Structure 1
Amino acid sequence: MKHSILAATFGAMLCTPAVANEAFTYAFDGSFDDATFAVESAIVGQGLVIDYVSHVGEMLNRTGADVGSDTMIFSQADIFLFCSAVVSRQVMEADPMNITYCPYGIFVMETDDGVTVGHKDYPEGSMQAVEDLMQQIVAEAVGN
């Protein structure tokens, strides 16, 4: 655990991705709204269509009391879900079970620590094309 925290801190200091809980995370220098706009623009800029935006933070904040919790996890949090016909075909031709990773998601979350943009860490091998696409989109969104 201590190693993960050090790795995440050091990675953020270098403006490179940190891997935390099997996700690549990047600090965003700006507001939540600016980050969601940047992520949306980067996805669309790749010629991709956003299938759905999941407003996870809103749902958790709205339902906390209903499930007996008063803990605020996120000020705000959204997940942008999309797919790439080209990349999806490539990874699913390599292994049809890669369907389990589609659609792909990039999240934006705001906590007391600030705004973070990220995506899950996909498995080595046939999913590398997806990981490369995600890294490219997120790097553009955070200004790297």
Structure 2
Amino acid sequence: METSKKELKDLKEKVSQLQSDLSDREASLLDLKEKASTMASSAVKRDNRLKTLEISLEQKKEECVKMENQLKKAQSAVVESQASSELSERISSLEQEVSRHKDDAAKAQTEVERLLDILREMENEKNDKEKKIHELESLASRLVLHA
């Protein structure tokens, strides 16, 4: 009888400890889920920023093509009119503008690549956290089944 009471007391203590551990793990799981949600939100914001940068890059490229076409037309006009000084200045200005737009496009491309790298890192972190969440859920369900 005394042994049974002691075993019952030990079992109650063990159940109490397991319930406490389960509560702690559930709290950790909720924290991880919240972090995963925050990371997903950040990823969406980065995706939106990336799309904006990609659109901007395409616009810069289109502007470069237009400027190059204007430059070619201006150069043809110079050849035809023996390079008047006004036209030479316009060509120089257009060349500078094309160069500036090419630089802007290159910078935008670099930023897009940087953000893609960050996005890949965030995806990897998110996947790692989801794997940890899954492991904790699996562990929690096993603890509940054994309890």
Q: What is the TM-score normalised by the length of structure 2?
A: 0.23
Greater Rg over alpha carbons, structure: 2
Considering fraction of residues, name the structure with more strand.
1
Instruction: Determine which structure has the larger helix proportion and give its number.
Output: 2
